[in-house]
Amino acid sequence: EHKGKVVLLNFWYSACFPCREETPDLIRLYNTHKERGLVILGINMDTILVPADDGGMLQRFMQDFDIPYPTLIADQKMYNDYGRAPIAPITLLIDRKGAIAQVFWGAYSFSMYESALRPYLEAASP
């Protein structure tokens, strides 16, 4: 479904302050570049990192930010498959060929993401 697109996989959890700080910039990035082939998928890790929560924190986070891109809820397998992220947020940049091109550790601003994404968004689809 996302073949030929530039994809950001953003791993986050609801109680993470840097995640809250970064989310408006990710929303702006998505709204600015979705027509150029940018896909953002949020991967929420609450069930792994905050297992005592009943989902209320995630629901409040989603309402607070009105996130326009899909958000998946990580299970233990997904968490393990993507390297058991030692910090949050962590964001993987996947190029149009489907390869992990860059890893962003921690929160980044709109301009930092935009600079990093520019060559990938300008590249032709394979």
Q: Tens of pLDDT along 46-87?
A: 888 776 677 788 888 989 999 999 999 887 777 777 667 777
Domain ranges of the chain: 15-93+108-119
The reported pLDDT for the residue numbered 125 is 73
Cis peptide, bond prior to residue 89, ω within 30 of zero: yes
- pTM score: 0.89
15-93+108-119 classified as CATH 3.40.30.10: yes
- Name which residue leads in pLDDT, 87 or 45: 45
Q: pLDDT-based confidence at 32, cuts 50/70/90?
A: very high
Percent of the chain with pLDDT over 90: 65
The DSSP letter of residue 82 is T
DSSP assignment string, 20-71: HHHHHHHHHHHHHHGGGTEEEEEEE-HHHH-TT--SHHHHHHHHHHT--S-E
The reported pLDDT for the residue numbered 10 is 96
Q: Which of 60, 36, 35, 55 is nearest to 45 (CA)?
A: 55
Q: Tens of pLDDT along 1-11?
A: 778 899 999 99
pLDDT exceeds 70 at position 106: yes
The reported pLDDT for the residue numbered 82 is 65
> Residues of 95-116 as b/e, b for ≥16 C-beta within 10 angstroms?
bbeeeebeebeebbeeeebbeb
The DSSP letter of residue 124 is P
The reported pLDDT for the residue numbered 126 is 67
Phi, psi (rounded to 5 degrees) for 62: -65, -40
